[in-house]
């Protein structure tokens, strides 16, 4: 088997694994909890179910259709880039894994956007959502909501009263609620920047990349 074929198979395996874990977690949370409900794992760790139409970590500043189309284009371009880079003789296996993590994370949230509105009933806050026949869900194509569930309030306290401006205010360190796909995007992207910033710079400047 050619080295480029092995690297492409590795990329496929990473993508399938991340997508599988991400979707299993989301479906379990969506069919067992109502939005706003949470399960306490520890003082600093919760499974807290929320839904959003926006970007990673619950941000929401563009429409669902526009965001979904942007994600589809971005994932398509990233997939094409990964396929091309995997054919280079000096491509690093680690580089392939990290790019695959980002690609899989983005694809995981696309699945929510594109299909969840078609296959899940609308949770009314009293009962969890259920799987329904295709097309009979709470929305149409590309109107699905992204499922988030990981909440890690590592520090949950109040500012000392003597602190100027914020004295007595409630403070939570790391308040975003996110999902497994978000974690894959963030981890993969951060490690790419840290470990392969020179390669990324060559890619952006349209020079021939030669990842270490």
What are the residue numbers of the active site? 148, 182
Question: Which element (helix H / strand E) includes 39?
Answer: strand 38-42
**166 CB neighbour count, 10 Å cutoff:** 11
**146 CB neighbour count, 10 Å cutoff:** 27
Letter string b/e over residues 171-191, b meaning 16 or more CB atoms within 10 A of that residue's CB: eeeeeebbbbbbbbbbebeeb
Distance CA 187, CA 182 (A): 8
Half-sphere exposure of residue 182: CA atoms within 13 angstroms, side-chain side: 20
**67 CB neighbour count, 10 Å cutoff:** 20
């Amino acid at each position: 088997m050619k080295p480029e074929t092995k690297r492409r198979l590795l990329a496929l395996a990473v993508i399938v694994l991340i997508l599988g874990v991400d979707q299993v977690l989301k479906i379990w949370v969506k069919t067992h909890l109502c939005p706003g409900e949470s399960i306490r794992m520890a003082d600093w760790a919760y499974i807290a179910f929320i839904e959003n139409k926006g970007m990673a970590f619950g941000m929401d500043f563009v429409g669902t259709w526009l965001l979904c189309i942007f994600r589809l284009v971005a994932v398509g371009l990233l997939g094409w880039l990964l396929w091309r880079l995997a054919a280079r003789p000096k491509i690093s296996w680690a580089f392939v894994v990290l790019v695959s993590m980002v690609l899989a994370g983005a694809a995981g949230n696309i699945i929510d956007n594109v299909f969840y509105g078609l296959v899940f009933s609308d949770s009314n806050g009293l009962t969890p959502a259920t799987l329904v026949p295709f097309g009979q869900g709470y929305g149409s194509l590309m109107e699905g909501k992204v499922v988030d569930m990981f909440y890690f309030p590592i520090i949950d306290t109040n500012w000392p009263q003597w602190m100027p401006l914020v004295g007595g205010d409630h403070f939570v360190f790391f308040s975003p609620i996110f999902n497994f796909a978000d974690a894959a995007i963030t981890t993969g992207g951060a490690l790419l920047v840290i470990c392969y910033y020179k390669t990324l710079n060559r890619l952006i400047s349209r020079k021939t990349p030669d990842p270490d």
